[in-house]
Amino acid sequence: MSEKGGAEGGSVVSRPVEGELRLQLAGDWTGNRRPVTADQLRRELATAPAVRRLTFDARQLGAWDSGLLTFVLMVGKVCAERQIAVDQTELPEGVRRLVALATVVPERTREDQEPGRLPLLAWVGDRAIGAWRQNVEMTAFLGEAAVACGRLLTGRARFRRTDLFTIMRDCGSRALPIVSLISVLVGLILAFVGAVQLQMFGAEIYVASLVGIATVRVMGAIMTGIIMAGRTGAAFAAQLGTMQVNEEIDALKTMGFSPFEFLVLPRLLALSLMMPLLCLYADLMGILGGLFVGVFMLDLNVMEYVNMTQASVRLKDFWVGLFHSCVFGVLVALAGCLRGMQCGRSASAVGDAATSAVVSGIVSIVVATGIITLLCNVLGI
């Protein structure tokens, strides 16, 4: 088999000599051309079963571009199928370097891109093993966080105070606009929902009781916690995940600093301290939202609404709401820091860590709310 190509380029496959097949390259190899196809080369090798080595003769080779590289890679792939060694020593140095660069990372096959579906038992086992590893990592993280808090109580924790104040500012004052907006809207929604039913009985004044108790006892803390999970928890995960990618956490370990004391502890303290204050602010904004509906939509007097709110909301409702907010602050901070410390070493892993931190934070808030509500009912609070 032979295809001669003068100026446009071509190749000649010579007959094997002592188990060696020589492939001659001639002319210019530019453009999207392949004078010898893979099937033709396979047929040539099939007629010469004794071939164990293939070499190139590039003495008559002219100009070349990526078309030659594609051809050389195709030849190497066909020879690999038949366990034939390929000698590229006579190729130009630039071709050899580019071929070596192209073969550093193997081509992804369809099996790699689309893994086959696992059997049911294998899928269940894989999920169970993953869940067990997650529990082990979470337990280890909580243990490290507890040790860091213990060192803080004994005055031995090492972290920068400026980091703590900076994080407190980010978690506190900079979160006020979004907390204000969401809390006012939640108060408006609660007042509208209550007014629809209470107007049927002429009891519009009890909208103040509904909004006040619901906001102060649960809804203010829940909405603040969800806002902070989406805003601050994701930020914690992204910050620590980026540090993992840049190997900054490894550098801290090398210098003898505990990442939990230096990175996790300030974030945990900052969010735990700011959440009760944000919750009180959210309670106020929620009550103001209900007041707006009561005054401008239900024709209630401002003082009537305020007095009814004062009569309905008890001091223990405030304490229950503050307790909710403290728990939510700890949970959101732990979820964000945990996902950040578990982050992989790629940009996509940072995004996955932020997403996982938000989901974990919101789920933990809902679960904690159910547990605390159940305990309050059992204790009669």
Q: What is the pLDDT of residues 62-96, one digit of tens each?
A: 777 777 777 788 878 878 777 778 888 888 888 88
Is residue 52 over pLDDT 50? yes
Q: Tell whether the model's pLDDT for residue 355 goes beyond 50.
A: yes
Report d(CA 335, CA 175) in Å as an integer: 19
Whether 5 has a pLDDT exceeding 50, the answer reads: no
Q: Using one digit for the tens of pLDDT, what is the confidence trace for 288-309?
A: 998 988 888 887 888 888 888 8
Burial of 18 (C-beta count, 10 Å sphere; 0-12/13-18/19+): exposed
Domains recognised in the chain with CATH numbers: 2-110 (3.30.750.24), 140-379 (no CATH)
Average pLDDT rounded to a whole number, residues 99-107: 71
Position 12 pLDDT exceeds 60: no
Q: Please compute, for residue 41, the number of CA atoms within 13 A of its CA located in the half-sphere on the CB side.
A: 24
What pLDDT was estimated at residue 226? Answer: 92
pLDDT at residue 4 greater than cutoff 50: no
pLDDT digit string (tens) for 125-182?
Answer: 888 888 888 888 888 888 888 888 888 888 777 778 888 888 888 888 888 999 999 9
Share of the chain above pLDDT 70, in %: 87
Cβ atoms within 10 Å of 42's Cβ, excluding its own: 13
Q: Which residues contact 256 (CB under 8 A, 6 or more apart)?
A: none
pLDDT category, 3, cuts 50, 70, 90? very low
pLDDT at 23: 76
Q: Is 48 or 268 the better-scoring residue by pLDDT?
A: 268
In this prediction, residue 332 carries a pLDDT of: 92
Residue pair 141/263 in contact (Cβ under 8 Å)? The answer is no
Average pLDDT over residues 218-227: 91
